[in-house]
A and B are shown apart, each in its own frame.
Chain A
Amino acid sequence: MTLAQAEMYQVEKEELISGSEAIAIACALADVDVITAYPIRPYDTVMQYVSKLKADGTFDCDFIVAESEHSQFEIVKHASAVGARTFCGSSGVGWFYAFEAITVTAGLRLPVVAMVGNRALDDPGAFGVEHNDAMAVRDLGWMLYWVATAQEALDTALLAWRVAEDPRVFLPFAVSCDGSFLTHSQAIVNVPDFQKVQQFLPAYDRGRLLLHPDNPITVAPQVNEDWLMEIRRQTDDAMRRTQDVIKETYEEFKQVFGRGDPSPFIEEYMTEDADIVLVGMGTLAMPVRVAIRRLREQGVKVGFLRVKFFRPFATEEIQQALSNCKAVGVIDRDYSYGSPSYGGVLFNELRAAMYPASNHPLMLNFVAGLGGREVLVRDVNQIIDTVQKAIDTGKIEEETTWVAVRE
């Protein structure tokens, strides 16, 4: 870390910044070595800020503007293999253009941290938020987290390197931020001093897996059917191990920085006594909380469960959080054409997670806010009404409802 870098982050301070800028600052605090950029809205705001920090000399990193997203992710993958701390990111179809590199990064067990500025997939071209881009890595060995605020973006980025670089894990980590609402709007963020960050985040040590002349290894030879089951099982086991590593690391995070939720995986809002629990991810937490507070005043027992880690999926904690309610309304900011009940990805995962649970609430799905459309308090009210109706009648008329869509 350069002197200028150290001076800049000598003392804890407040800044008015976007979620993207918060993550850029986290990169400087974490003293990331190699960062690759390629322009695409809305994630690119993080790289605009990184380049500014570098230009001003307050962040010393190798900042490489690649010629494509594929190269962007390949470059950090290989930098990570020789022991460098890395960061990159993308949005929408850019994330998909990089998909080959994204897949192998997990297969190689490289702790790359990436930001996904969630964006609708082409065609048609659209800038607004949808979760389908980041969702696409859900089966591949990436940890996948949805943040709701700029502060959470900064904190989660720091957590990401610590967990991903833990030798028990060595898996990549994607921090998902809703396009526009997080990438382009600014909030007051507490920026910790770098001593605290160093205390929490040790140097990345690749150990015996380091690609270096002092450790002559061969990485990723071609395999046939004699080997791949075993290799997949190793990655599966690493993903299973993330559960404990995340818990342990999050406790440390709270001690060092003095903030955080009870659970690193989910956030519960008024769920204890709730008959109805809404479930969702990312920034739609805001209108949902508002609606819940108002309905609570009218005595309606409704709560909200925000899923933070989509991978690993906190099955037991979620089963526990939904163990007393009568009905669940899952709000998906994604689609999964032709899926069970034509529902969203979160809905179907959640319903599968609840199958072995002791409590079997009614489960309804609401597809909302696609392409960046705002989810309004009145939309949430409509959702809650629909769920209430299901409770009253004891039957579900429509398992999946598209919210606020013109007919």
Chain B
Amino acid sequence: MTTVQELPQIRGVKNIPVQEGYTSGHRTCQGCESALVMRLMIKAAGPRTIVVGSTGCMYVANTTYYSTPWVVPWMHTQLGSSGSAATGTAAGLASQMRKGKMKDEPINVIAFCGDGGGVDMGLSAISAALQHDEYNLLILCYDNESYANTDIQVSGSSPWGANSTFSPPGKKHRIMNNRWKKNTAPMLATGHPDCRYVATACGSYGLDFTNKIRRALTIGGPTFIHSIDPCPKGWDYDPKYSHELGMLAVETGIWVQYEIVDGELILNGPSKAIASGIRQRKPVGDYLMRQGRFAHLTEDDVKMFQGKIDQSWEEWWIPGIVPFSPES
């Protein structure tokens, strides 16, 4: 197994490096939180990094031919291939370094995917990648809760009831997406007990996000981070609220911030405060009613949504994370 870079945790937002690995040239939407996630990701990882990106907004909107925002080496991979792309890149480097065909040095390998590429199509390849503890790699799923790039179609990570071009509220069916968001990070953590680091994250918490990337890259082996990315295009809100909606997702308890490090669960920030009762969850309506994709929801829908979130906090074995309980 090749060596890893030592990326110490950053204490204080003012110590975040000024250097950028992702700059202008991308054509993402105004207020694109995923663009921020790309920027923070590479800020945290530093210049000795190879990034592989699967198809999605962060491919199509970022890198239109002859133009690139990337300072670090970057390569496209197919929609369902973030896991295999990370494995292939890491294996190619490891093999050549071991055989003396390439200078032996720690190079970060990061593959990113959207929810379409990660939570839907690419799940099996990500799962396989997380089994290869001989390779150092990070898979980052930037989850904007729809196939936003292809015109905003519902994905397995879209919340219940959300409007999308495949789930438009109609005269007969007001709710076309009856699926609840897939519980991806816990699925991957429990399914791959030897994977040393699985975390959830949100770009609105910049320092926390940066440190999660650094911890994932430093701990070694395959790691996974699932990030919730407010999307002004698909969620339909004024772009200036991207940051605020990210925080609201956490403060309402719809999104839980945590790390699973060597099998130990660590809740972060507001999620920790909520779990320990120091802080009350905000009503989900504060979050839902701010987004055009939920504009067709009735009061009963919101109540039901609230009930589902309450249940995940009050009845699940591990609140908001593990959706079952031991035999009582």
Question: Do A and B touch, yes or no (CB under 8 Å, in the complex)?
Answer: yes
Residues of A within 8 A of B (CB): 1, 31, 33-34, 60-62, 64, 66-68, 70-72, 74-84, 86, 100-101, 104, 203, 211-213, 215-224, 226-227
- Measured CB to CB, the closest approach of chain B to A338, in angstroms, equals 30
- Measured CB to CB, the closest approach of chain A to B26, in angstroms, equals 10
**Chain B: interface size category:** 35 or more
Give chain A residues whose Cβ lies under 8 Å from the Cβ of B67. Answer: 221
- Measured CB to CB, the closest approach of chain A to B257, in angstroms, equals 30
Q: Are A223 and B65 in contact (CB under 8 A)?
A: yes
User: With contacts A1-B99, A66-B128, A222-B64 known, is A75 near B84, CB below 8 A?
Assistant: yes
Q: Are A79 and B50 in contact (CB under 8 A)?
A: no
Q: Are B88 and A31 in contact (CB under 8 A)?
A: no
A80 to B48, CA, bound (A): 19
- Measured CB to CB, the closest approach of chain A to B51, in angstroms, equals 10
Q: Are A80 and B92 in contact (CB under 8 A)?
A: yes
Q: Are A212 and B73 in contact (CB under 8 A)?
A: yes
A64 to B222, CA, bound (A): 15
Give chain B residues whose Cβ lies under 8 Å from the Cβ of A81. Answer: 75, 88-89, 92
Q: Are A213 and B47 in contact (CB under 8 A)?
A: yes
Q: Judge whether B60 is part of the interface by a CB distance below 8 angstroms.
A: yes
- Measured CB to CB, the closest approach of chain A to B133, in angstroms, equals 13
- Measured CB to CB, the closest approach of chain A to B292, in angstroms, equals 27
Give chain A residues whose Cβ lies under 8 Å from the Cβ of B63. Answer: 218, 221-222
A101 to B127, CA, bound (A): 18
Q: Are B64 and A84 in contact (CB under 8 A)?
A: no
Q: Are A227 and B65 in contact (CB under 8 A)?
A: yes
Q: Are A79 and B73 in contact (CB under 8 A)?
A: no
Q: Are A71 and B95 in contact (CB under 8 A)?
A: no
Give chain B residues whose Cβ lies under 8 Å from the Cβ of A203. Answer: 101
- Measured CB to CB, the closest approach of chain B to A201, in angstroms, equals 14
Binary contact track B71-109/A, C-beta < 8 Å → 1, others 0:
111111110110111111101111110110110000100
- Measured CB to CB, the closest approach of chain B to A64, in angstroms, equals 6
A217 to B48, CA, bound (A): 13
Q: Judge whether B38 is part of the interface by a CB distance below 8 angstroms.
A: no
Cβ contact of A74, chosen from B71, B78, B98, B102, cutoff 8 A: B78
Q: Is the interface of B mostly helix, strand, loop or mixed?
A: mixed
User: With contacts A33-B96, A74-B85 known, is A84 near B75, CB below 8 A?
Assistant: no
A78 to B89, CA, bound (A): 5
Give chain B residues whose Cβ lies under 8 Å from the Cβ of A78. Answer: 52, 75, 77, 84-89, 92
Which chain A residue shows the least CB distance to B88? Answer: A78
- Measured CB to CB, the closest approach of chain B to A40, in angstroms, equals 17
Q: Are A227 and B88 in contact (CB under 8 A)?
A: no
A78 to B111, CA, bound (A): 11
Cβ contact of B92, chosen from A60, A83, A215, cutoff 8 A: A83
- Measured CB to CB, the closest approach of chain A to B34, in angstroms, equals 15
A212 to B66, CA, bound (A): 19
Give chain B residues whose Cβ lies under 8 Å from the Cβ of A70. Answer: 78, 80-81, 84, 125
A227 to B64, CA, bound (A): 10
Give chain B residues whose Cβ lies under 8 Å from the Cβ of A60. Answer: 98-99
**In the complex, given contacts A75-B91, A79-B88, what are 14 additional A-B residue pairs having Cβ atoms less than 8 angstroms apart?**
A34-B92, A67-B127, A68-B125, A76-B88, A78-B89, A79-B92, A81-B89, A81-B92, A82-B92, A86-B92, A212-B73, A220-B75, A221-B64, A222-B76
A72 to B84, CA, bound (A): 8
Give chain B residues whose Cβ lies under 8 Å from the Cβ of A221. Answer: 63-68, 76
Q: Are B50 and A212 in contact (CB under 8 A)?
A: yes
